[in-house]
Amino acid sequence: MLETPAVAEGHGAHSAAVDRGAAVQRARWLNLVTIGWNGVEGVIAVVAGLAAGSVSLVGFGADSAIEVSAALVLAWRLRQERQGGCMQRSDERATRAIAVTFLLLALYVGVESLRHLLAGEQPDKSVVGIVVAALSLTLMPLLARAKRALAPVLGSAAAVADAKQTSLCALMSGVLLVGLGANALLSWWWADPVAGLGIAALAAAEARSAWRAESLTDTCCA
């Protein structure tokens, strides 16, 4: 039996709604993983960083806190789905809020890194920090890839910004691992604040990118 165009169109709309609903649920689940991991990672990194006097490790812990805040912003954005209608205005507000978190991180880590570098403050070695950075470098790229795959279905610039935040966390993990490793293995104390400056530069670039991002076509408005 052949379907009429109206029936076929109805089936297509239902399928799109199901796909979007599944994407929203998966995005919420990934958000919970992000909040859980970064909450634990952030506390460990800050405590270990303060104990070792490592500005890059403390900065990395601060990024974890900002990653949690970005995830909470996205969680708010995803809750707007329940209200129906167009999500573009909510999406824009959420994206701008995420951009601000990037900027705050860049300012804090940049200033602290310069202060440590100019003062010649030498951090202690941190095995805990190296382990945390290595674990983050393994997990974050996988999480970022999963988030990016959902963004087109959600039609959400906020989801893209959150995925970029997670990708930035992966890059920061690599920078942190190099800095902590150089200090631990080669006694290059200056590698730690230099790594911090690298983290600040990455955060500033992402702040600019997120703030200037154009909204994606929201599928619920199409």
Q: Which domains does the chain have, with CATH numbers?
A: 19-211 (1.20.1510.10)
- How far the first Cα of the chain sits from its last, in Å, is 30
Give the H/E segment covering residue 131: helix 127-154
Report d(CA 135, CA 164) in Å as an integer: 19
Q: What gap in Å lies between CA 122 and CA 213, rounded to an integer? A: 39
Contacts 24+ apart (CB under 8 A), 22-28: 23/150, 23/153, 23/154, 24/78, 24/81, 24/154, 26/146, 26/150, 27/74, 27/78, 27/147, 27/150, 27/154, 27/159, 28/75, 28/78
pTM over 0.85: no
pLDDT per residue as tens, the chain (222 positions):
445 554 444 444 444 554 777 888 888 898 899 899 999 999 999 999 999 999 889 988 988 887 887 778 777 777 766 665 555 666 677 778 778 878 888 898 899 899 889 988 889 999 999 999 999 999 999 999 998 888 777 777 777 777 877 887 888 899 999 999 999 999 999 999 999 898 889 888 888 877 876 544 443 433
Which helix (H) or strand (E) covers residue 211, if one does?
Answer: helix 191-211
Is residue 40 within 8 A of residue 87, CB to CB? The reply is no
